[in-house]
Structure 1
Amino acid sequence: MSSELEPRGGQELPDTTGAGDPVPDPGLPVHDPRITDVDERAAKRAERQVATMFGLATLFLIAFVVVYIAVPKDATFAGVGGSNLALGASLGVALLLIGAGLVQWARRLMDNHEVVEERHSAASSPADRTAAIGALRQGAAESQIGRRKVLVRALAGALTLLGVPVIILLGDLGPLPGTALEHTIWRRGTRVVNDVTFRPLRPEDIHLGAIVNAVPASIVDLPEGRARNNALAKAAVFLVRMEEGDIHSLPSRRSWGVSGILCFSKICTHVGCVVNLWEQLTHQLLCPCHQSTFDLSNNGRVVFGPAARSLPQLPIMVDSEGFLVAQSDFPQPVGPSFWERG
Structure 2
Amino acid sequence: MSTHDDKHLPARPAQDRPAQPERFENPGLPPHRPRRADLDPKAAKRAEMQVVALFTLSVIASIAFVVAYFAIDPQARAWVPGIGEMNGFHLALGLTMALSLLGIGVGAIHWAKTLMPDEEFVEERHPQASSQEDRLGAGQVLSHGWRSSQLNRRGAILGSAGGALGLFALPVVLPAIAGLGPAPRREQLFSTNWEAGRRLMIDPSGTPIRAADLTQGSVFHVMPDGFVGHAAIEEHGAEAVMHSRSKDPVILVRMNPAEIKSQKQREWGIDGIVAYSKVCTHVGCPVALYEQRTHHLLCPCHQSTFDMTDDCNVIFGPAKRPLPQLPITIDDEGYLVAADDFREPIGVSFWERERPGLLPGGNS
Q: What band does the TM-score fall into relative to the shorter chain?
A: 0.7 to 0.9
Evaluate the alpha carbon distance shift between residue 181 and residue 103 of structure 1 in structure 2; reply closer, same or farther with a 3 A threshold.
farther
Return the match for 2:151 from 141, 145, 154: 145
Identity of aligned residues (%): 43
Q: Which region of structure 1 is more displaced relative to structure 2, 21-30 or 110-119?
A: 21-30
Aligned letter for 2:144?
A: Q
Normalised to the residue count of structure 1, the TM-score between the two structures is: 0.75
Aligned pairs, how many? 322
Q: 1:237-273 deviations in whole A, cap 9, x for unaligned?
A: 322222334333433x544334533222223223433
Do 2:251 and 2:277's aligned partners in 1 also have CA atoms closer than 8 Å?
Answer: yes
In structure 1, what is the equivalent of residue 220 of structure 2? Answer: 212
Aligned letter for 1:138?
A: H
Do 1:184 and 1:231's aligned partners in 2 also have CA atoms closer than 8 Å?
Answer: no
SS where residue 313 of structure 1 aligns? coil
Q: Which region of structure 1 is more displaced relative to structure 2, 282-291 or 324-333?
A: 324-333
Deviation at 1:20, TM superposition (A): 1.2
SS where residue 146 of structure 1 aligns? helix
Return the match for 1:188 from 176, 195, 216: 195
Q: 1:180-213 deviations in whole A, cap 9, x for unaligned?
A: 973243241555444434x153235755423222
Return the match for 2:163 from 154, 157, 177: 157
Deviation at 1:81, TM superposition (A): 7.9
Q: Take 2:41 and 2:59, find their aligned partners in 1: how far apart are those partners?
A: 27
In structure 1, what is the equivalent of residue 255 of structure 2? Answer: 242
Do 1:301 and 1:311's aligned partners in 2 also have CA atoms closer than 8 Å?
Answer: yes
Q: Take 2:86 and 2:272, find their aligned partners in 1: how far apart are those partners?
A: 50
Q: 1:25-59 deviations in whole A, cap 9, x for unaligned?
A: 32111101222223344333332332222122112
Aligned letter for 1:233?
A: S
1:295 correspondence with 2:301: no
Return the match for 1:104 from 97, 102, 110: 110
1:68 correspondence with 2:79: no
Deviation at 1:300, TM superposition (A): 0.9
Q: Take 2:219 and 2:259, find their aligned partners in 1: how far apart are those partners?
A: 16
Evaluate the alpha carbon distance shift between residue 257 and residue 124 of structure 1 in structure 2; reply closer, same or farther with a 3 A threshold.
farther
Do 2:201 and 2:209's aligned partners in 1 also have CA atoms closer than 8 Å?
Answer: no
Deviation at 1:24, TM superposition (A): 4.8
Deviation at 1:310, TM superposition (A): 1.0
Do 2:257 and 2:266's aligned partners in 1 also have CA atoms closer than 8 Å?
Answer: no
Do 2:281 and 2:347's aligned partners in 1 also have CA atoms closer than 8 Å?
Answer: yes
Deviation at 1:280, TM superposition (A): 0.6
In structure 2, what is the equivalent of residue 58 of structure 1? Answer: 59
Aligned letter for 1:146?
A: N
Deviation at 1:301, TM superposition (A): 1.5
Return the match for 1:330 from 342, 346, 363: 342
Q: Take 1:138 and 1:320, find their aligned partners in 2: how far apart are those partners?
A: 93
Do 2:193 and 2:244's aligned partners in 1 also have CA atoms closer than 8 Å?
Answer: no
Larger Rg: 2
Q: Take 1:180 and 1:136, find their aligned partners in 2: how far apart are those partners?
A: 61
Q: Take 1:81 and 1:238, find their aligned partners in 2: how far apart are those partners?
A: 44
Q: Take 1:98 and 1:272, find their aligned partners in 2: how far apart are those partners?
A: 43
Evaluate the alpha carbon distance shift between residue 129 and residue 259 of structure 1 in structure 2; reply closer, same or farther with a 3 A threshold.
farther
Deviation at 1:326, TM superposition (A): 3.5
Evaluate the alpha carbon distance shift between residue 75 and residue 131 of structure 1 in structure 2; reply closer, same or farther with a 3 A threshold.
farther
Q: Take 2:334 and 2:92, find their aligned partners in 1: how far apart are those partners?
A: 53
Q: Take 1:85 and 1:192, find their aligned partners in 2: how far apart are those partners?
A: 49
In structure 2, what is the equivalent of residue 37 of structure 1? Answer: 38
Evaluate the alpha carbon distance shift between residue 139 and residue 40 of structure 1 in structure 2; reply closer, same or farther with a 3 A threshold.
same
Aligned letter for 2:260?
A: I
Alignment of 1:12-51 (within 5 A): 20=21, 24-51=25-52
